[in-house]
A and B are shown apart, each in its own frame.
Chain A
Amino acid sequence: MRAEPGMIEAEDVAKSFTVRKRSGRLRRTRTTLDAVDGVSFTVRRGEFVGYLGPNGAGKSTTIKMLTGILTPSSGSLRVCGLDPARRRTELARRIGVVFGQRTTLWWDLPLRDSLTLIRRLYRVDAAAHRTRLAELTALLELEPFLDTPVRQLSLGQRMRGDLAAALLHGPELLVLDEPTIGLDVVSKATVRGFLERLNTERGTTILLTTHDLGDIERLCRRVMIIDHGRLAFDGGLDRLRATVGADRMLVVELARPGPPVVLDGIEVLRTEGPRQWLRLPNAVNAAAVVSALAERHEVRDISLREADIEEVLAGLYRGDHAYWCSGRPVAP
């Protein structure tokens, strides 16, 4: 055995579904849909990893395989050293899962009762339960609504309740499927702050899927991006920017409209009246470009834009790299 096995080890994991489509009055054709198409990665103990991708990319399918709900069609998968589909029950006692759009809580009963049932479900002893519940109550600020029926909770309160439910048995790994979906700014901040502490102070490994870029920028040191069932990127946020979005953009407003400016190694992406959008590769010194521009043209205004993570992702999902031009690439 290796000294430090990964918390999650996926090797060439694939999942395909057979879909029947109506192709005539009675005829149905079977097609195979590759929801996840050969994904390999390792998540080490203590990591906080963002798992991103557009809708239908295969994120939820991956999570369902990680939690043992779905069996991979091929490849090998180990979570906490276990085969999830075969040892689902054992694994469930060691991991916590939050499906942001669904709830493990009982609608008609107070939150406290749901948490009591979860203690029975995971066979947590009374003393450990008391300690953890007190801790989670304080961190997630559950006290004001512990005795309120879940039906009456706001979405933010319910989500905090669900987080508590997923953590009552002290899991080593927490898998979160869009935990901040639909939350307001304050609730998001509470949830993010909590997750950050859980990861840094407790060392709980966290895998997070989200469409919320604030979550990623605030929490994830590493991101994996899945698209069309394949892993399109795996690395740090900085490297993500460098890989697909290293180029910055210089927006120049000249004194009067004119033909695109000519500078070595600079491409003009777009012109609009006196304004011009220039692509600035990372290797080019921005100051030198600015002074060269000022020498040759009368410049009114100038601004430099770093590609932000949202545009980087949008570009990546679309499969083009002209993301920094507000989604309007220049016609050739």
Chain B
Amino acid sequence: MGVYPWVAWFAFRRYTAYPLGSGAEALTNTVFGFIRASVLIALWRARPGLGGYDTADAVTFCFLTQALIGPVQVFGGMELTERIRNGDVAIDLYRPTALQGWWLADDLGRAAGSLLLRGVLPLVAGALVFPFHWPGPAGAAAFTVAVTLGVLVSFGLRYLVTLCSFWLHDGRGMDAVALVLSLFFSGMTVPLVVFPGLLGTVARGLPWAAQIQVPADVYLGKHTGTGLLGALAFQAVWAMALLAAGHVLTGMARRKLVIHGG
């Protein structure tokens, strides 16, 4: 392990260094939570029991996703992208550590800081105003594991997108595609349980589902027993596959490397 826990710890401190900024983001996410909740309530009034959710499930889902925006960075992006663009990545590549390991540790620290500063407010505000579900101790533990795996999947996806900057010189196009996929297939726009037929089946099998939909379902107690293990395994398999792909792509990037800006 060595240096990685320290990288995570310093990243946590780095991302919690500006509490006012984080507070503003938490407030924004909360306000949007209220707007989305109102839309979802109207939808579930018109179609009670849609996708197996009741109204309280839908509202809880909404505020959970608002709370997870920061930790799983659903809008995409990584600091590393800018570092590849401006050449600072030379410093990262020179360090006696693995590039992916370093940034994964950094991202875990970031996610923890984000959950603390940006996740709590939307959940509490939502719970105070709307009908809301709270999980029991076992549910909370399972949710913690699911969020951690969700962050790993999110990192895996974003790291792959970021590495494309080594080849593309400008990653904005990739970022835009990644953003649309992430918003649509993670359950951020509407819960994936309402996607009909084949689209729903496919959407629930893609890695983006592991970022938001699966942790939210775990929180809501939609998975129990072997179903719960299956849901966590689904996340874990995607996390491992993405990190393995990241490892291979890092090797290719190192070999092909052009460092921008001398």
| B222-262 Cβ-contact flags toward A at 8 Å (1 or 0) | 00000000000000000000000000000000010111001
Asked if B13 and A17 sit within 8 Å, CB to CB, the answer is: no
Asked if B14 and A121 sit within 8 Å, CB to CB, the answer is: no
What residues of chain B lie closer than 8 Å to A17, measured between beta carbons?
Answer: 258
A30 interface residue (CB < 8 Å to B): no
What residues of chain B lie closer than 8 Å to A99, measured between beta carbons?
Answer: 90-91
What residues of chain A lie closer than 8 Å to B91, measured between beta carbons?
Answer: 99, 102-104
What residues of chain B lie closer than 8 Å to A68, measured between beta carbons?
Answer: 94
What residues of chain B lie closer than 8 Å to A69, measured between beta carbons?
Answer: 90, 93-94, 257, 259
| B3-21 Cβ-contact flags toward A at 8 Å (1 or 0) | 1001100100110011000
Q: A117 is contacted by which of B10, B88, B96, B262 (Cβ under 8 Å)?
A: B10
**Closest-CB distance, A208 to chain B (whole angstroms):** 16
A180 interface residue (CB < 8 Å to B): no
Asked if A64 and B2 sit within 8 Å, CB to CB, the answer is: no
| B65-102 Cβ-contact flags toward A at 8 Å (1 or 0) | 00000000000000000000001101101111100000
Question: What residue in chain A is nearest B15 (Cβ atoms)?
Answer: A108
| A52-71 Cβ-contact flags toward B at 8 Å (1 or 0) | 00011000100010011111
**Closest-CB distance, B233 to chain A (whole angstroms):** 33
Stretch at the interface among A87-95, A127-135, A139-147: A87-95
Query: A113 to B97, alpha carbons, bound, how many Å?
Result: 19
Query: A68 to B92, alpha carbons, bound, how many Å?
Result: 12
What residues of chain A lie closer than 8 Å to B13, measured between beta carbons?
Answer: 109, 113
Pick the most buried of B2, B7, B13, B95: most chain A CB atoms within 10 A of its CB: B95
Known A70-B259, A102-B90: A117·B14 in contact at CB below 8 Å: no
Question: What residue in chain B is nearest A59 (Cβ atoms)?
Answer: B262
Asked if A71 and B255 sit within 8 Å, CB to CB, the answer is: yes
Asked if A89 and B96 sit within 8 Å, CB to CB, the answer is: yes
**Closest-CB distance, B15 to chain A (whole angstroms):** 8
Asked if B259 and A121 sit within 8 Å, CB to CB, the answer is: no
Question: What residue in chain A is nearest B6 (Cβ atoms)?
Answer: A120
What residues of chain A lie closer than 8 Å to B262, measured between beta carbons?
Answer: 55-56, 60
What residues of chain A lie closer than 8 Å to B87, measured between beta carbons?
Answer: 102
**Closest-CB distance, B96 to chain A (whole angstroms):** 4
**Closest-CB distance, B20 to chain A (whole angstroms):** 14
**Closest-CB distance, A269 to chain B (whole angstroms):** 36
Tell me what chain B mostly uses at the interface: helix, strand, loop, or mixed. Answer: loop
Q: A88 is contacted by which of B2, B7, B18, B96 (Cβ under 8 Å)?
A: B96
Known A64-B90, A92-B94, A99-B91: A120·B14 in contact at CB below 8 Å: no
Q: A106 is contacted by which of B14, B18, B90, B95 (Cβ under 8 Å)?
A: B14
Query: A324 to B95, alpha carbons, bound, how many Å?
Result: 44
What residues of chain B lie closer than 8 Å to A120, measured between beta carbons?
Answer: 2-3, 6
**Closest-CB distance, A164 to chain B (whole angstroms):** 15
Q: A102 is contacted by which of B7, B14, B88 (Cβ under 8 Å)?
A: B88
**Closest-CB distance, A127 to chain B (whole angstroms):** 19
**Closest-CB distance, B155 to chain A (whole angstroms):** 19
Asked if B93 and A117 sit within 8 Å, CB to CB, the answer is: no
What residues of chain A lie closer than 8 Å to B6, measured between beta carbons?
Answer: 116-117, 120-121
Query: A243 to B30, alpha carbons, bound, how many Å?
Result: 72
What residues of chain B lie closer than 8 Å to A70, measured between beta carbons?
Answer: 257, 259
Query: A114 to B67, alpha carbons, bound, how many Å?
Result: 30
Known A71-B255, A109-B13, A113-B13: A92·B3 in contact at CB below 8 Å: no
Query: A60 to B2, alpha carbons, bound, how many Å?
Result: 30
Query: A41 to B2, alpha carbons, bound, how many Å?
Result: 37
A224 interface residue (CB < 8 Å to B): no
Question: What residue in chain A is nearest B9 (Cβ atoms)?
Answer: A117
| A272-287 Cβ-contact flags toward B at 8 Å (1 or 0) | 0000000000000000
Q: B95 is contacted by which of A90, A92, A123 (Cβ under 8 Å)?
A: A92
Query: A109 to B87, alpha carbons, bound, how many Å?
Result: 22
Asked if A109 and B94 sit within 8 Å, CB to CB, the answer is: no
**Closest-CB distance, B88 to chain A (whole angstroms):** 5
Q: List 29 A-B contacts (CB under 8 A).
A: A55-B262, A56-B262, A64-B259, A69-B94, A69-B259, A88-B94, A89-B96, A89-B97, A90-B96, A92-B94, A92-B95, A93-B96, A97-B94, A99-B90, A102-B90, A106-B14, A108-B14, A108-B17, A109-B13, A109-B14, A116-B6, A120-B2, A120-B3, A120-B6, A121-B3, A121-B6, A121-B96, A121-B97, A123-B2
Please report A residues at the B interface, Cβ cutoff 8 Å. 17, 55-56, 60, 64, 67-71, 88-90, 92-93, 97, 99, 102-104, 106, 108-109, 113, 116-117, 120-123, 149
Please report B residues at the A interface, Cβ cutoff 8 Å. 2-3, 6-7, 10, 13-14, 17-18, 87-88, 90-91, 93-97, 255, 257-259, 262
5 nearest CB pairs, A to B:
A92-B96, A89-B96, A120-B6, A60-B262, A108-B17
Apart from A69-B90, A104-B91, what are 16 other A-B pairs with CB-CB below 8 Å? A67-B94, A69-B94, A70-B259, A71-B255, A89-B97, A102-B90, A108-B14, A108-B18, A109-B13, A113-B13, A116-B6, A117-B3, A117-B7, A120-B3, A121-B6, A123-B2
